[in-house]
Amino acid sequence: MRKWFLIFLLAVCAGPAFSQDQFVSTGGSTYVDIVRGATWGTISFNRVFWFTPLTPDQRFCLFVANNNPTNSHTFSLSVYQTGDRQVSNYSGNTGRWIQDTVQGTPSPVAAASMTSAYVHANAGAFIALAFSGGATQAGSPDTADVFLVQTTGESCGPVQGGQINVNAGSVQTADTDGVSNTIRVPGDPNGQVIQSLAYGHLFNRATWDRAQGSAAQGALVQGPLQPAITKNSETTSAANTATTVSITAVAGQRVYLSALAARDSAGSCSLTVKDGVGGTVIWSTDGSFISTTLRTVDWPVPLASTSGNGMDIVVSACGAGNTSTVDVQASQL
C-alpha cells in the first residue's frame, strides 16, 4: 500500500509536461501583461504563456523589457496559434498548433532596455508564446517584464507616412518616403493606378482618417496633382529640324500625357503623338497647328500609351531658319 501511495504522490508532484504552460487572462483588454519581474534563466521566464486573442484576426506587438541595469540578455521566442477552442495547453498538444511568423528582432535585449516584435495571427482561438534559452546574468534585478498590445495595425511603433490606394472599393496602405501621404484612384480598367486628377489630395505629415475621410492633422493641399513618376520637359529644336521628345518604355508601365504647349520662332508646323518610341500615331494635327503664338493642349483624361510602350511627341520642322519649342507634362507608371 505504501508503495502505491508513493507512486501516486510522485505522479501528482511531477505533473504532466503541460504544467509548465501558463494561461494568461487578458480580461478582454487590448493591453496584456504576460509576466512581470520574471527571473532570467528560470521557469518564470523560460516557459510557454498562452492567451485568448480579442478577435480571430489578431495582430499584436510583443515587448520584452530587460530590468538588468548592467547586462544584456538573449533568448528564443516562437509564437503559435490554434483554431481549436477546446485545447487546454500548448506543450501537451503541439500537433494542434501552427507556428506564426515573428517580425522584428526581440533578442538580444540590452541592459535596461526593451525590444519588440510584431505578429499577425489569423483565425486563432488561442495564441502561445514559447520563451526559451534565457540565462542568468550578473546584475540586479536580473528580471524581465513581458507584455503586449493587441492592435489593428500592420506594424509596431510610430506610423510612417504612406500611400493609400483605392482600387475596386478596397483601401490598401504602403509606405512611401515617410513624409507625405497620397491618395490614388484607378487610372484605367487594366489595373494601372494613377493619382487622381480630379480629386487629388496631398497630406503633409498627416494621417488619413478612413472613417471620416479627412486628414487628422497636417497641411492639406487640394486640387489636381500630377502622379509620379513625372516625365516633364522642355525641348527646343535646331533650325528647320523636327523636335522629338521620346519617353523610354518601361515594362508593365504606361506613359500618361496630360498636357502639351508648343510654339515656333516663325512659320508653322504640326504636332504628332506616337504610341511607343517610333511607334503608331495616336494623335496628330494639321501642318499649321503650331505658330509663333503659344498653342496648348490639355487632356482631362490623360492620353495613354499601351502598357509596356514609351511615347514620342514630335513637332515637325517649321521651315528654313525656324526653331520650335515644345513643353511636355507626362507621367509614367
In the chain, what percentage of residues exceed pLDDT 90? 63
C-alpha cell, 189: 480598367
Domain boundaries, the chain: 17-151, 162-222, 233-332
The answer to whether the Cα torsion of 307, 309, 311, 316 is positive or negative is negative
The answer to whether the beta carbons of residues 310 and 278 sit under 8 Å apart is no
**CATH classification code of 17-151:** 2.60.120.1050
Task: Tell me how far apart the alpha carbons of residues 221 and 205 are, in angstroms, rounded to a whole number.
Answer: 12
* For residues 224-229, average pLDDT: 76
The answer to whether the Cα torsion of 39, 43, 46, 52 is positive or negative is negative
- Confidence grade of residue 199 (pLDDT, cut at 50, 70, 90): very low
- Confidence grade of residue 1 (pLDDT, cut at 50, 70, 90): low
For residues 192, 193, 199 and 203, what is the CA-based torsion angle, rounded to 10 degrees? Answer: -160
**What local confidence, expressed as pLDDT, does residue 92 receive?**
87
* For residues 256-275, average pLDDT: 92
**What local confidence, expressed as pLDDT, does residue 200 receive?**
36
For residue 125, which amino acid is it? A
Of these ranges, 1-5, 10-14, 186-190, 266-270, the one predicted with the greatest mean pLDDT is 266-270
Task: Tell me how far apart the alpha carbons of residues 254 and 304 are, in angstroms, rounded to a whole number.
Answer: 6
What pLDDT, in 10s, does the model give residues 132-163?
999 999 999 999 999 999 999 888 876 554 44
Sequence-separated (6 or more) residues with CB below 8 Å from residue 11: none
Asked whether the domain spanning 233-332 has the same topology as the one spanning 17-151, the reply is yes
Q: Where are the beta strands (DSSP E) in 123-252?
A: 126-132, 143-151, 162-167, 170-175, 180-186, 193-195, 201-204, 208-209, 214-215, 219-222, 233-236, 243-247
What pLDDT, in 10s, does the model give residues 160-195?
544 444 444 444 444 444 444 444 444 444 444 333
For residue 70, which amino acid is it? T
- Domain 233-332 architecture: Sandwich (2.60)
